[in-house]
Amino acid sequence: MLSVLEQLIERVEHHLAVIYQDVELITTYPELCKQLLETMRIDNSDLLVEPKRHHNNWDQQDVMLITYGDSIEKSGEKPLHSLHDFLTKYCGDAINSVHLLPFFPYSSDDGFSVIDYSSVNEALGDWDDIRAITTDYRVMSDVVINHCSSRSAWFENFIKGEGPGSDFFYTASLKDDLSKVVRPRTSDLLRLTETPHGEKQVWCTFSHDQVDFDFRNPAVLDTFVSIMRQYLDTGIRIFRLDAVAFLWKKIGTSCINLEQTHEVVRLLRTLIEHAVSDAVIITETNIPNRQNLTYFGNANEAHGIYNFSLPPLLVNTLVTGSCKHLKSWLGSMPPSQNGTFFFNFIASHDGIGLRPAEGLLQDHELTALVNTMQNFGGRISWRTSEDGKQKAYEINIALYDALQGTVKGTDKWGLDRFICAHSIMFGLEGIPGIYIHSLLGTGNDYEKVKNTSHNRSINRHKWDYTKLQEQLALPFSQHSKVHARMIKLLNIRKEQPAFHPSATQFTLQLGEQIFGFWRQSMDRRQSIFCIFNITDEPQSIRLSDMNLIGTDTWFDLISGHTMCLEDLEYRLAPYQSMWISNIGS
């Protein structure tokens, strides 16, 4: 019988054989495997941790706050210190995980054009500040794996033609057939760069300041394994592989979701799990739903995938007053296997991506959604489609403003509609991620857009901590009301076994105006019927439509009311949410 180390070596060599099947290497798979195991420091059988297969290292208490390191600032204090203080004082036990968006030195894209992966941006703090947060919270770090800054030392060495990184970057030719390449941007794909070896056309999926790596070079892979090992050493346990779908390039193909890309994710999972058994990989793949699901593999690839179709479908539901498409999508989604989970979110540092809604919403419905968001102050980011036309790629808007009204215009139900959206997300199968500006009810930041000329800045406000504390101390301020209601929902959620990320879920058929689904705990003791009026008019629901077991006592966990099964129907106020459970909180 093979030892744990021997089995690991066999697996890693298989991963490498798939990744480099079309690449002529100057080393052998055993030699490269040995190097990777040494880099991750798992080359000694005495240090190996055998990961459990199909094991959930998460439960219903897992909730993640998504934030930049400087989303909260205080004069004279390091932003990471201010953020840590905010988490302690204003999140309490309601949130146990934090996604710290890129906290490294960078040159553009608010951190996603990384200059140095091994350093903390001095404007934010240092590694001690990161370690302090990892002591109290489970921290997710970005691994910006597809590209880095054109101002990085690696790319400067590429330009000089010598030194570390000089062979890290993917180049092509203007004569290559690039017609099938899928792009999320409208800028030119190739960047002309002068080097001692002549002019080079450097591949830039996103911008000319974000130069793409060439993973055909094993040194690039080994470098990122080293980076992830460093992050593990600082206490980081969750890795968000940013834009990973574009990682492997092959001329004549779409250069997205290629077989080698999936195998790189599998390899990274194998390595980090053997180093730290509860380490987790989440893939960030803003692509159509079916393609996104493939990153689960056979429960051997990403532990978690972003549920990118949820934001556009949920916003569309609440502004149209029809849950038809949301219900259809949810009913068609496969349950996650044990050992995997959906990462649910409805707002982020970017915007509401529209590619994941392709095939789920029709073109005229997408156009109506875009127009409604523009009426609420949103901006639109565009991409060039396969046929050369400009298509809306992303809606840039603060979620609080996105839900201030319906297709009919703004109304008085904005706060209730906003809370309804989160009540839905908090109840769904998976782990919820809450953007800090949703937790605080922050609106569109037009001034920042004006200053940066970037659409995404509209939802990247920086709070002065003193002013924020003043707002949260006012009982009737917009920010105080949002924060209080969100924290209340999260505190209820974390006590419910039926809200375990992998607990059973079924979509209910309650018409187009009432959205609902049923969750059941893994031990089958608790059932929760999640019911939502997604319209601006009162709606009635028959309890008999949900088949509540008459021998149980049922409670609405949100209102605290006991349900009377003898009542023929219940009347729901506009955007009212109910979590009806057979076990009281």
Give the model confidence (pLDDT) of 410-468 as tens digits: 999 999 999 999 999 999 999 999 999 999 999 999 999 999 999 999 999 999 999 99
Burial of 194 (C-beta count, 10 Å sphere; 0-12/13-18/19+):
exposed
* 508 bridge partner residues: none
Residues ≥6 apart with Cβ < 8 Å to 139: 97, 98, 99, 100, 130, 133, 235, 236, 237, 238
Read off the pLDDT of residues 218-233 as tens digits, 9 standing for 90 and up.
Answer: 999 999 999 999 999 9
> What was the pLDDT predicted at 383?
79
Name the residue ranges covered by the structural domains of the chain: 147-212, 504-581
| Amino acid in the structure at residue 374 | Q
Catalytic, out of 62, 142, 242, 445: 242
DSSP of 286-331: -S-HHHHHGGGTTTTS-SEEE-TTHHHHHHHHHHHT--HHHHHHHH
Give Cα 488 to chain centroid, integer Å.
23
For 285, half-sphere exposure in the C-beta direction (CA atoms, 13 angstrom radius) is 28
Residues ≥6 apart with Cβ < 8 Å to 558: 423, 489, 492, 577, 578, 579
Is 197 annotated to bind ligand? no
Domain 147-212 identical in fold to domain 504-581:
no
Mapping DSSP to helix (H, G, I), strand (E, B) and coil, where does residue 53 land? coil
The sign of the CA dihedral 310, 316, 322, 325 is negative
pLDDT band at 544 (very low <50, low <70, confident <90, very high): confident
Query: 496: which 2 tokens?
Result: 């419910």
* 519 bridge partner residues: 505, 528
Mean pLDDT of 345-372: 93
Read off the pLDDT of residues 100-126 as tens digits, 9 standing for 90 and up.
Answer: 999 999 999 999 999 999 999 999 999
pLDDT band at 296 (very low <50, low <70, confident <90, very high): very high
> What was the pLDDT predicted at 344?
98
Q: pLDDT at residue 515 above 90?
A: yes
128 flagged as catalytic: no
Alpha helices in 392-464 (DSSP H): 399-402, 414-427, 436-439, 446-452
Cβ atoms 419, 485 nearer than 8 A: yes
Rounded Cα gap, residues 535 and 576, in angstroms: 9
Read off the pLDDT of residues 550-577 as tens digits, 9 standing for 90 and up.
Answer: 667 889 999 999 887 666 688 999 999 9
Is 109 annotated to bind ligand? yes
User: In the chain, what's the furthest Cα-to-Cα distance?
Assistant: 83
Q: pLDDT at residue 267 above 90?
A: yes
> What was the pLDDT predicted at 269?
97
Rounded Cα gap, residues 161 and 198, in angstroms: 10
Is 456 annotated to bind ligand? yes
Radius of gyration of the chain (CA): 24
pLDDT band at 289 (very low <50, low <70, confident <90, very high): confident
Q: pLDDT at residue 369 above 70?
A: yes
> What was the pLDDT predicted at 550?
66
Question: What is the CATH superfamily name and number for domain 147-212?
Answer: Oligo-1,6-glucosidase; Domain 2 (3.90.400.10)
* Alpha carbon separation from 540 to 201, 423, 512, 532, 571 (Å, rounded): 62, 19, 12, 11, 4
Cβ atoms 141, 147 nearer than 8 A: no
* 72 bridge partner residues: 463
> What was the pLDDT predicted at 43?
86
Name the average pLDDT for the chain. Answer: 94
Query: Is domain 504-581 annotated with CATH 3.40.1260.10?
Result: no
Mapping DSSP to helix (H, G, I), strand (E, B) and coil, where does residue 67 land? strand
More confident residue, 46 or 527: 527
Read off the pLDDT of residues 139-151 as tens digits, 9 standing for 90 and up.
Answer: 999 999 999 999 9
> What was the pLDDT predicted at 404?
98
